[in-house]
Amino acid sequence: MKTEAQIIDAYLELLYTLTPKLKLKLIEKLAKSVDKDVPVKSDRFEKSFGAWIDSRDSDEIIAEIRNSRTLNRQIESF
């Protein structure tokens, strides 16, 4: 908290030289930036793990995967 207070004080020293009109514009832009900074609940973290959504049970899915495999080995001669 102490560091944040020092940063705010340093900005205020810079802002004292601005005209009232410019200060109001700055306030407006800061207010808009706060709206953008509000975090939106994101479930990207949960989505990164994923989940298999299917109406079939696991045995049916496994059987389909195994049946769709093809063995196509071709041995090349030297």
Provide the 8-state DSSP code for 59: H
Any idea which residue has 């009109």 for tokens?
21
Residues 27-57 have pLDDT tens digits of: 999 888 887 766 666 666 666 676 667 788 8
Does some domain include residue 74?
A: no
Average pLDDT value for residue range 47-76: 81
Average pLDDT, the chain: 82
Instruction: Check pLDDT > 90 for residue 21.
Output: yes
Does some domain include residue 76?
A: no
Does some domain include residue 57?
A: yes
Does some domain include residue 22?
A: yes
Q: What does the alpha-carbon distance between residue 26 and residue 16 come to, in Å, rounded to a whole number?
A: 12
Q: DSSP letters of 29-56?
A: HHHHHHHHHSPPP--HHHHHH-----SS
Q: Model pTM?
A: 0.41
Does some domain include residue 78?
A: no
